[in-house]
Amino acid sequence: MKSLAELFEHTLQDVYFAENAITKALPKVAKAAKSPELKKAAELHLSETKEQIKKLDQVFKSMGKKPAGMKCDAIEGLIKEADGLMSEAEGIALDAGLLAACQAVEHYEIARYGSLREWAKGLGHEEAHTLLSEILDQEKATNNKLTNLAVTSINKASPVKKAA
């Protein structure tokens, strides 16, 4: 891999794999979460993620390529962490930890789509640039929603310990 075009296609396949892995992980988060709001957020983002995969299909198509995924080690690691949390944490720690794990995934996606959409622009793939920017905005909105949920509700469920 030497060219930006090759890097772009490689990274597009990486996020395609990641989004597909996320569609399998989010139902587990929705099931494990105790907070109804966190459950709802996971369910909503699952449906958004399915739409994102359709947009990625369109990105591949706009470049005359077939949609394909390539193993993304980062998402597998992030999902593995979340799985570990589900088996180890309980109560408030479970919800706060799951929410944080979801945010780690959103941050990964924001990093990837930020690079991808700029590369698309640089390579003259206008349609891809637009579609990838739409996905980026959705990931950012999801991350902001999760931050709000954490600070207004989930983290507050922790009892404030008085100094001894």
Tell me the residue nearest to Fe ion as measured from the CB: 72
The answer to whether 7 touches 1, Cβ cutoff 8 Å, is yes
State how far the alpha carbon of 14 is from the alpha carbons of 67, 103, 127, in Å: 11, 19, 19
Q: How far is the CB of 19 from Fe ion (least distance, A)?
A: 5
- Is 139 a binding residue for Fe ion by CB under 5 A? The answer is yes
Q: How far is the CB of 92 from Fe ion (least distance, A)?
A: 24
Q: How far is the CB of 49 from Fe ion (least distance, A)?
A: 5
Q: Is the Cβ of residue 9 or residue 109 nearer to Fe ion in the bound state? A: 109
How far apart are the C-alpha atoms of 36 and 128, rounded to whole Å?
A: 36
3-state secondary structure string across 12-60: HHHHHHHHHHHHHHHHHHHHHCCCHHHHHHHHHHHHHHHHHHHHHHHHH
Indicate which single residue of 46, 74, 86, 100 sits in contact with Fe ion (rule: CB under 5 A).
74
Q: Is the Cβ of residue 9 or residue 14 nearer to Fe ion in the bound state? A: 14
The encoded tokens of residue 31 equal 């099931």
- Is 14 a binding residue for Fe ion by CB under 5 A? The answer is yes
Q: Is the Cβ of residue 44 or residue 92 nearer to Fe ion in the bound state? A: 44
Q: Is the Cβ of residue 21 or residue 154 nearer to Fe ion in the bound state? A: 21
- Residue 79 CA, chain-centre distance (Å), reads 10
| Residues 84-113 interacting with Fe ion (rule: CB under 5 A) | 109
The single residue listed with the structure tokens 């395609």 is 16
- Is 72 a binding residue for Fe ion by CB under 5 A? The answer is yes
Q: Is the Cβ of residue 92 or residue 133 nearer to Fe ion in the bound state? A: 133
How far apart are the C-alpha atoms of 80 and 67, rounded to whole Å?
A: 25
Residues near Fe ion (CB under 5 A) are: 14, 49, 52, 72, 74, 109, 139
